[in-house]
Each structure stands twice: as C-alpha cells, then as structure tokens.
Amino acid sequence: MTDDLLVKYLLGEVSPQEQHQVKSWVEASVDNRKYLESLERVWQQSHQLAMESKVDADAAWLRFKKPCCC
C-alpha cells in the first residue's frame, strides 16, 4: 500500500477498485487501520494549519526570488 493511494482515498479521489483495495488493506490488520487513522489525523491537522496561516505566499516567493544584497 502506498501513501499516495491512501491520500487519494482520504481525498475521495479513488476509483471503486482502488477504494476496495484500500478497504481490504485496512481490514487486513489493526496496524494498517491505525496507520490510515494516523495519516488522516495528520492530514486534517495540516489542512487546519493551512487555513489558519497568515503567510502571503506570493510575497514570500517574491522575497525568495529577490537577489541577495550581499
């Protein structure tokens, strides 16, 4: 099982076959279920942090591209 497929699953972007594959994998062991649950928690927390971020990504990118004054 790949993290890419698990992320697609969490996003609801899997095909019916992929959904069945993930569900079978989760049901195969407690460790698999716990791994998916932990991945989902991290995903939710990172999404929440992104929503709360006050960083202006465009301005940060322009500062990054600006030549150093050294």
pLDDT at 62 over 90: no
- At residue 4, the pLDDT reads 92
Q: Which residues contact 5 (CB under 8 A, 6 or more apart)?
A: 14, 18, 21, 22
| pLDDT score, position 63 | 82
3-60 residue pLDDT tens: 999 999 998 999 999 999 999 999 999 999 999 999 999 888 876 766 666 767 788 8
Q: What's residue 61's pLDDT?
A: 83
Global confidence as pTM? 0.64
Structure tokens at 51: 């929503």
